[in-house]
Structure formats: C-alpha cells, structure tokens
C-alpha cells in the first residue's frame, strides 16, 4: 500500500513538473522585462528631472523699483518658454538679501563684514520647457530678455544644457533599442517554453482528434491553462517589482522625486501581457501538433 501511495505521489510530482517549469520561466522572463520597462519609465522621469534642473537666471539692475520688478515678473509669466508644473509657473524671485543668505549658506562667509553694501543683484530664476532646451532656443531667449529695461544680464549654463539634451536623446534611443530586443527575447523564450511543455501532450491531442473532437474543444483546455499560467506569472513578476520598488523607496527616500504614476500601468500591462503571451504561444503550439502526421509526433 505504501509503495502504491508513493507511486501516485511521484506521478503527481511529475505531472506538475511542466507547470513548474513554465511558471518559473515565464515569471523570470516577465520579471526581467518588467524591470527594464520600469527603468525605462523612470529614465523618462529622470530625463525630465534633469531638464527641469536647468535654470535661467535673469539678473536685475540695482536701482530697480518694485513696480518695475513686478512688471518684469508679469512679462516672464506670460512667456511661452517658461515651464508650468501643477498649474504653477516655475518662476522664483530672489532678492538681494536672499542672494546674500544663499552665498553665506554655500560658502560660509559673509562679505558684508568687509563691504559696506551688498554687491549681489536681485534676480528671477526660471525653468524652461524641455522643447526650448537647445542651444539656439536658449540663445534666443537670452537675447530677447536681456533687451528688457532694468535687466542687467541673462545667465545660464549653456554647455550643461546642451550636453544634457544630447545625452537624453542618446539614452532614449539606447533604452528603446534594448527594450525591443528584450521584448523579442522574452516572446521567444516563453513561446519555446510552452511549446516544450506541450510536447508531452502531443499524443493526447492526436487521440482527441481521432475520436472526433472539434478544433476548439481540443484547444480550449490548453489555452485556458496557458492564459492562467501567464496571468499568475505576470502577477508574481509584478509583485516582485513592486516589492523591490517600495523597498528602494524605504532605503532611499530621495528616490521619491522620480516617482511616476505609470507604475500601476506597468504592473497591469505586465500581467495582461503574460496572459496574452501564454495564450498566443499555446495556440501556436497546439495548432502545430494538430497538423503533424503520426510519424512526425514520434
């Protein structure tokens, strides 16, 4: 009796073996793809963060009045190149006293101990929309604003802005290329895994054909199983990615600045993609074995 029970358990284990292989392979493939998509989404956020870190300083004259300062602020708010975020204009006024405090905070020295008056000027610091972050547009902006009355000069890091823009374009091309390659590898890997898992069922498929089962009747159980396996694998991969993501947020709170609302979209897409890919791969494999002759099945 003990030998029979052991034999039955062994058969169950062997019967579950293809499921374990398919589940593990699909989960790992979808996890790698999901991680890369997650990085790609955050790379886009990172590029926007870097672009928004570029600042243009509009330095004002010393003798400027409050009404003239307010007029320049109104003019800057109306410019199409100024970045708006959350319905707020990314424009900041820095008074002479604020500039002095920033200097002391940065360098730890107060020049007013040796000077009679503050040599620093008041200024506006503004952020530029990404489409204007190129050498020509920034030069045109600088030339335009510097001609305004009571504007002493316009200052920005020209080389930094141009270099960031070029690097972002290059990284975008590289990430998209790797994403396409990884997507193809994932599809091929999962397709081959399911095809190999169904290899042991090829004679069952032939037996169902011989007793007159319809094509859909034969396909249905295999498609349902592959679809559910894909959903489970996608959900497992998504949970792993979400767990790692929130663990990273716990370790590095500053990472919150790169948080994207598209995380949920990536997770849901990964689950749906796993299910559909499993369904499609199983359909191809079943149809392939249904079309084989008896000699080809051996």
Selected residue with higher pLDDT from 206 and 94: 94
Question: DSSP assignment of 137-183, as one string?
Answer: HHHHHHHHHHTSTTEEEEE--HHHHHHHHHHHHHHHHHHHHHHHHHH
pLDDT band (50, 70, 90) for residue 13: very low
Q: What is the rounded average pLDDT of the residues 178-186? A: 83
| Inter-residue contact 45 to 261 (CB < 8 Å) | no
pLDDT exceeds 70 at position 6:
no
Say if residue 164 is exposed, middle or buried (CB neighbours under 10 Å; 0-12, 13-18, 19+).
middle
**pLDDT score, position 250:** 80
Which ranges constitute the DSSP H helices of the chain? 2-52, 66-77, 96-107, 135-146, 158-197, 202-210, 215-251, 263-291, 294-297
| 212: alpha, beta or left? (left if phi > 0; alpha if psi -120 to 50) | left
pLDDT exceeds 70 at position 199:
yes
Tens digit of each residue's pLDDT (9 = 90 or more) over 138-147: 888 889 998 8
**pLDDT score, position 231:** 92
Tens digit of each residue's pLDDT (9 = 90 or more) over 234-281: 999 999 988 888 888 788 776 666 666 677 888 888 899 999 988 888
pLDDT exceeds 80 at position 227:
yes
Maximum Cα–Cα distance across the chain? 103
pLDDT band (50, 70, 90) for residue 11: very low
Within 13 A of 154's CA, how many CA atoms are on the CB side?
A: 18
Question: Mean pLDDT in the chain?
Answer: 80
pLDDT band (50, 70, 90) for residue 14: very low
Q: What is the rounded average pLDDT of the residues 152-161? A: 79
**pLDDT score, position 12:** 42
pLDDT band (50, 70, 90) for residue 8: very low
Three-class secondary structure of residue 84 per DSSP: strand
Three-class secondary structure of residue 56 per DSSP: strand
Q: Which domains, ranges and CATH numbers included, belong to the chain?
A: 2-49+164-297 (no CATH), 55-156 (3.30.70.3040)
| Inter-residue contact 22 to 194 (CB < 8 Å) | yes
**pLDDT score, position 124:** 92
Tens digit of each residue's pLDDT (9 = 90 or more) over 77-123: 889 888 887 777 888 998 888 888 887 887 777 777 777 777 888 99
């Amino acid at each position: 009796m003990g030998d029979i029970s052991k034999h039955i358990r062994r058969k169950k284990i062997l019967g579950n073996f293809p499921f374990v292989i398919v589940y593990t392979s699909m989960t790992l493939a979808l996890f790698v793809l999901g991680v890369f998509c997650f990085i790609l989404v955050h790379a886009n956020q990172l590029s926007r963060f870097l672009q928004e870190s570029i600042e243009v300083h509009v330095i004002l004259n010393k003798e400027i009045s409050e009404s003239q300062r307010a007029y320049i602020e109104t003019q800057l708010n109306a410019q199409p190149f100024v970045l708006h975020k959350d319905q707020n204009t990314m424009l900041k006024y820095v008074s002479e006293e604020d500039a002095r405090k920033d200097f002391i905070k940065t360098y730890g020295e107060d020049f007013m101990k040796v000077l009679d008056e503050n040599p620093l000027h008041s200024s506006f610091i503004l952020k530029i929309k990404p489409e204007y972050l190129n050498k020509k547009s920034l030069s045109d902006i600088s030339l335009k604003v510097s001609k305004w009355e009571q504007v002493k000069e316009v200052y920005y890091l020209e080389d930094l802005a141009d270099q960031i823009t070029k690097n972002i374009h290059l990284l975008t091309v590289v990430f998209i290329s790797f994403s396409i390659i990884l997507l193809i590898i994932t599809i091929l890997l999962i397709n081959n895994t399911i095809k190999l898992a169904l290899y042991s069922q090829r004679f069952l498929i032939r037996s169902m054909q011989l007793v007159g089962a319809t094509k859909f009747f034969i396909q249905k159980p295999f498609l349902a199983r592959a679809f559910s396996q894909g959903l489970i694998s996608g959900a497992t991969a998504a949970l792993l990615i979400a767990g790692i993501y929130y663990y990273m947020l716990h370790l590095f709170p500053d990472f919150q600045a790169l948080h994207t609302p598209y995380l949920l979209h990536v997770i849901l897409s990964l689950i749906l993609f796993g299910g559909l890919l499993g369904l499609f791969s199983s359909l191809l494999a079943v149809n392939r074995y249904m079309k084989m002759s008896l000699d080809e099945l051996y």
